[in-house]
Amino acid sequence: DQQVKQNSPSLSVQEGRISILNCDYTNSMFDYFLWYKKYPAEGPTFLISISSIKDKNEDGRFTVFLNKSAKHLSLHIVPSQPGDSAVYFCAASLRDFGNEKLTFGTGTRLTIIP
Amino acid sequence: EAGVTQFPSHSVIEKGQTVTLRCDPISGHDNLYWYRRVMGKEIKFLLHFVKESKQDESGMPNNRFLAERTGGTYSTLKVQPAELEDSGVYFCASSQDLLAASTDTQYFGPGTRLTVL
């Protein structure tokens, strides 16, 4: 039973445009959400996070939106750059329950077209 | 500051053999996690150490997997005997204690790619 789902295995976006990556979750107890970026042969790198008490968090070109009622979050990258080409993983945890283990989605491969 | 390191980067073994993976967390990080990614699927939690104690090992697949963290520093994950379905990339991550630091972000190592033939 996959509790975090990324239904788009891949996404191609032109350089300079907005990239939108989506993630859905089923466990309403999740209270902390993260996005990780992964290059080939490297480990995931933390990108941005959001607590369930917020609906938006912004860091430079990256913004994460959380819609708790829809159990949906999205990552917006604007403007997209060639270096953004990577696999993006959505993850969730039960932080308020003292359980920080991450539950990941299957990832979305983002390709930025120059 | 050195990041999370893992050794070896790649291991190829035959079914039935034993393999030991090692993880060195970021210095000072009490929390250490093991995760596994199989065949391009999601990254799955295996277990969580707080210092030398196992906090949560609910993700360990079976008793062929044994994790240790003696002295609360580096950790090892032994697979004995290895089976074909154990193939995948094993990631280690570490984080500070949320009560002691402003962030408990998990920092991942590069992973060990295990291939069981």
Query: What is the DSSP-derived secondary structure letter of residue B102?
Result: S
User: Nearest CA of chain B to the CA of A60: how many Å?
Assistant: 18
C-beta atoms of A102 and B59 within 8 A: no
Residue A90 has pLDDT above 80, yes or no: yes
Contact A100 B42 (CB under 8 A): no
What value does the mean pLDDT of chain A take?
A: 95
Contacts A–B by Cβ distance under 8 A: 54
Instruction: Please check the confidence at residue A96 and state whether its pLDDT lies above 90.
Output: no
Min Cα–Cα distance to chain A from B74, Å? 18
Q: pLDDT band for position B116 (50/70/90)?
A: very high
Give the per-residue pLDDT at A100: 84
The span from the CA of A103 to the CA of B51, in Å, is 22
- Report the percent of chain B where pLDDT is more than 70: 94
Cβ–Cβ below 8 Å for A106 and B41: yes
Phi/psi-derived region of residue A71, left when phi > 0, alpha when psi is between -120 and 50, beta in every other case: left
Q: What is the reported pLDDT for A21? A: 98
Find tokens 């080409």 and name the residue.
Answer: A85
| Whole-number average pLDDT of chain B | 92
**Tens digit of pLDDT for each residue in B44-80?**
999 999 999 999 999 999 999 999 998 889 999 999 9
Is-cis flag, bond preceding B110, omega within 30?
A: no
Q: What is the mean predicted confidence (pLDDT) over A31-39?
A: 95
Dig out the tokens for A90 from the structure.
Answer: 């959505």
Q: Rounded mean pLDDT of A83-89?
A: 97
- Please, is B114 exposed, middle or buried when counting C-beta atoms within 10 Å of its C-beta (0-12, 13-18, 19+)? buried
pLDDT band at A98; cut points 50, 70, 90: low
> Would you call B75 exposed, middle or buried from its count of C-beta atoms within 10 A (0-12, 13-18, 19+)?
buried
Dist CA B73 CA B31 (whole Å): 10
